[in-house]
Structures are given as structure tokens and as C-alpha cells.
Amino acid sequence: MPSVFKTLLSHCTLLAAMTAGVANAQAALPVVPLTAGMFAINAEVAATPAAREQGLMYRKAMPANAGMLFVFEQKAGHCFWMKNTDLPLSIAFLADDGTIVNIEDMAPQTEDNHCPKAAIRYALEMNKGWFAQKGIKSGAKIGGLPQAR
């Protein structure tokens, strides 16, 4: 029985280390100030393939005016899903000038595709309902976008 306990303890330690690694990787993302009309947003920037793949997975909470900005090198129909994502989110797909193309609400732990209605280079994820609560709709602009590389 002691060897089973040691194996279990070893697996728990490994899981804790992996979880800490995910949290550290997420904490390392740069943050940019964005605006949506009179509202300020602090957005983590996911501009690398690894950062975009990780996104907001495994997060348990996000501050009210925080979000994640996804920046892609190429304009395309970049679709999103919510696998391993515990937070209910709303996503705004953004044209190069910051104009919101469309907004979708996304349920946690689902694999439904949420896609832009036009080719985009930017997407902004916020807590679910954030855009609607602020009266922000398609056609509004998000200011402060970093230049895509």
C-alpha cells in the first residue's frame, strides 16, 4: 500500500507543477489598455501560436474589465471554441481598424465553433455579457489595438 500512496503523491505533485506552469505562462502575457467607447479594458495579449492555443483555458475568474486580445499574423476566419475553458465568455471579432464585426456568447467547456462573419486579425474575449451590458454592438470600435506583425 505505501507504494500506491507514493505513486499517487507523485502524480499529485506533477499535476500541481503543471497547473503552476499554466498559471505562470498566463501571467507572463503582456497587457495592453484598450477602449470601447468610454469603457477601459485591460487585455492580455495572446499573439503567439502557444498563447493563442492556451487562451483563457483553466482560468477560474477574470476581473470585470479584463479580457484577452488574440492577435493573428494573417487575416482569416479564425474560429474559437471553449474546450478546457471554465469561464463563460463573449467574443468580439475585430476588423483591422478595431470595428467589431460580430459578437458571440460562448458557453464553458463546449466545442462549438464561434467564427467571425468576415476575415479578421483580432478577437477580444471578455466575461460573458460584458459587451451587451455596456451597450456595445457590431459596428462599434475598440481602440488601442497593437499592430499585428
* Residue 147: predicted pLDDT: 80
* Residue 149: predicted pLDDT: 60
Average pLDDT over all residues of the chain: 86
Is the pTM value of this prediction over 0.85?
no
CA distances from 3 to 17, 92, 133 (A): 21, 51, 54
Convert the pLDDT of each residue in 8-37 to its tens digit: 334 433 334 444 444 444 458 999 999 999
- Collapsing DSSP to helix, strand or coil, 60 comes out as coil
Q: Long-range contacts of range 11-20, CB-CB < 8 Å, 24 or more positions apart?
A: 19/58
Domains of the chain: 30-143 (2.60.120.1140)
